[in-house]
Amino acid sequence: MYKCAFSITLGLVFSFTIACQDRRMLAGKSATDSIAEANGSQQSRKMIREIEADVRASRQYTGKQHLDPRVMDVMARVPRHEFVPLTERVQAYENRPLSIGQGQTISQPFIVALMTDLLELEPDDIVLEVGTGSGYQAAVLAELVSKVYTIEIVEPLGRAAAERLGRLGYRNIECRIGDGYAGWPEQAPFDAIIVTAAAQHLPPPLVEQLAPGGRLVVPVASGLLEEQLVVVTKSESGSIQTREVLPVRFVPLTGEH
């Protein structure tokens, strides 16, 4: 079983847009930051090897011998240590979830990579993420697509993630504080949607907001104590196909549903 990132709870507060400088223009890094980056590069390579091992170990479920090289390249580049508290940075590149405060966690790198791969993203795609957390998954997505809309119900996490993503130079991410179950209808349709908490059923608003030809990746409860990572594909005619990929264990998706 694989565990995920964080819980989603009820509420719809407000939205805000990240505005930031290009990452190449960022300056004034401390010596501690430089050391962290150097150590992170080495640890990141180890993390990638562990993700690759998990991909091989789970191939009986996923049918995958390897993930898209573009996804793996982004997983190697995005500085995971930037998305965890200082107290967790020594473990930032371990292939497991880590605490990010507010009783929430950052997802296991293997799960982030697999869910991203299952979306089959293209450079001009527009993506919705339900559950921003610390912003790590949004950063991974933003490296691969044109635009990312991300929703977080826990206000302190959402605000901190927006600041962090802005500081790191991500221009193509827009954040909202609110109930992700309802999606983001005014920005729909989306070429891809990713949900980082377990739903009791496929959320109708998210299926509706998926563009023809789009893909939704979401953990869905399949029994009292069982969940499956599900890929939903919408055809050009609007018909829906679902495929169970992997047994998982996620925190529940909650909200007005």
Check whether 224 has a pLDDT greater than 80.
no
Q: Is 13's pLDDT higher than 80?
A: no
Segment 127-152 mean pLDDT: 97
Window from 33-37, 109-113, 151-155, 234-238 with minimum mean pLDDT: 33-37
Q: Among 65-69, 132-136, 145-149, 253-257, which stretch is predicted with the lowest mean pLDDT?
A: 253-257
Annotated catalytic residue: which of 44, 107, 235, 239? 107
Neighbours of 184 (CB within 10 A): 22
pLDDT at 158 over 70: yes
Residue 131, both tokens:
């559950």
35-64 residues labelled b (16+ CB within 10 A) or e (exposed): ebeeebeebbeebbebbbebbeebeeeeee
| More confidently predicted of 72 and 31 | 72
**Does a structural domain hold residue 9?**
no
CA distance 249 to 114: 15
Question: Who contacts 108 (Cβ-Cβ below 8 Å, separation ≥6)?
Answer: 2, 3, 4, 95, 96, 97
Nearest to 218 by CA among 255, 181, 188, 186: 181
For residues 234-252, average pLDDT: 90
Residue 59: what pLDDT? 96
Of residues 189, 52, 190, the one with CA closest to residue 122: 190
Burial (CB count within 10 angstroms: exposed 0-12, middle 13-18, buried 19+), residue 31: exposed
- Tally of domains in the chain: 1
Phi/psi of residue 69, nearest 5 degrees:
-55, -30
Residue (of 150, 140, 133, 115) closest to 232 by Cα position = 115
pLDDT at residue 223, rounded to an integer: 72
The answer to the question of residue 257 being in a domain is no
**What residues have CB less than 8 Å from 51, skipping those under 6 apart?**
67, 72, 75, 95, 109, 110, 113
Q: Residue 38: what pLDDT?
A: 52
Higher confidence at residue 49 or residue 221?
A: 49
Check residue 22 and give its pLDDT.
41
6-15, 40-49, 163-172: least confident range? 6-15
Q: Is residue 191 part of a domain?
A: yes
Judge whether residue 27 has pLDDT over 70.
Answer: no
Instruction: Name the average pLDDT for the chain.
Output: 86
Task: Tell whether 187 is covered by a domain.
Answer: yes
* Position 138 in a domain: yes
Mean pLDDT confidence for 239-252:
89
Check pLDDT > 80 for residue 225.
no
The whole domain housing 51 covers 14-248
d(CA 199, CA 227): 9
Cβ within 8 Å of residue 24, ≥6 positions away? 169
> Is 228 within the bounds of a domain?
yes
Backbone angles phi, psi at 114, to 5 degrees: -65, -45
**Higher-confidence position of 46 and 200:** 46
- Is 5 domain-assigned? no
pLDDT (mean) for 195-205: 90
Contact indicator for 214, 234 with CB cutoff of 8 Å: yes
Q: Measured in Å, how far apart are the chain's first and last C-alpha atoms?
A: 26
Gap between the Cα atoms of 193 and 209, Å rounded: 9
Within 10 angstroms of residue 204's Cβ, the number of other Cβ atoms is 11
Q: How far apart are CA 73 and CA 200, in angstroms?
A: 33
**Is 69 part of any domain?**
yes
Q: Is the pLDDT of residue 163 over 90?
A: yes
pLDDT band (50, 70, 90) for residue 35:
very low
* pLDDT over threshold 60, residue 26: no
The confidence score (pLDDT) of residue 8 equals 31
- For residues 17 and 165, the answer to whether their CB atoms sit within 8 Å is no
User: What is the percent of the chain where pLDDT is above 90?
Assistant: 72
Here the CATH number for the domain that contains residue 154 is: 3.40.50.150
- 107 counts as catalytic: yes
Lowest mean pLDDT across 76-80, 92-96, 244-248: 244-248
Entry pTM: 0.85
Q: Can you point out the beta strands (E) in the chain?
A: 14-17, 98-101, 104-106, 126-130, 147-152, 173-177, 190-195, 210-221, 227-234, 240-248
**CA-to-CA dists, residue 22 to 25, 27, 82, 144, 167, angstroms:** 5, 11, 17, 16, 9
